[in-house]
Structure 1
């Protein structure tokens, strides 16, 4: 068990997660490719069976989140803001926005004080060192750092955790 650290969540039907301690001095992308920082804990989870109800989906997310937070006890959480496709149905809107609400509720319940959210485009630019790299760019950057991942959602969560380090460092400098 690793108590502490920050949990990064790329919220979707298949949610990517990464857990790690934030460095005091985060690396720029070029530095990270050379220095190869250690791989954070990471993985992905699917909430509910395909086509399940919004309630079953939210219940599965809450149960997984509660168990994860109980076991790992992170002190921070960062979630990627949901991006809704232009053509989507109301259940998808409820599921994606509901996921954010479920994890914000869990952060409150577990007294996690450092809770942030991030725009996906900002995360990708920070992680890759340039704008608009897309999922392939994030995956390539993970591989350049020596980080393994099973899905694009897991790679996105690793990028989000890296971004959390930069955000926390910026907040410390401004304080």
Structure 2
């Protein structure tokens, strides 16, 4: 069993990104992994902006990253890049904070035009932090993330079908097994899960 840190980089309290990350976390828990959640928006703003690693909440966030075997990092896409909140948190971590960790990058946004942010904005930063294995990332349109009558996250059916093998491949990588083959890289419209 691996410990996974589910990190959300959305500043919004009603974040669809957070709902997506929780949904993925539940699937990873079904695989037998221990999932711990960290919402960057809940960290004290002044300490976060000052990179005050002496602040107990910031120090705890750094410890959670260090203790994790893998991370699911979710961000909304703003202006063709990941959130400034996520960038602020990543900036205060040690340079090689992701060394030895498996990472699954996820992004949400309002338009398929932002889907490349996972590969062209977020992935290079994660690689620069030492992540040796960044699994196939995924982008989901905001409108395909909803809430059911019981309050549970509900994904648009096609999005659910396309996301499942991505999460399963990450779970397999955490378990030290070879990644299950995805059925080829989806076409952009399908990858967006829109």
Smaller-chain TM-score range?
A: 0.3 to 0.5
The structure carrying a bigger strand percent of its residues is 2
TM-score of the pair, normalised by structure 2? 0.41
The structure carrying a bigger helix percent of its residues is 1
Q: Which has the higher contact order (CA 8 A, sep 6+)?
A: 1
TM-score of the pair, normalised by structure 1? 0.44
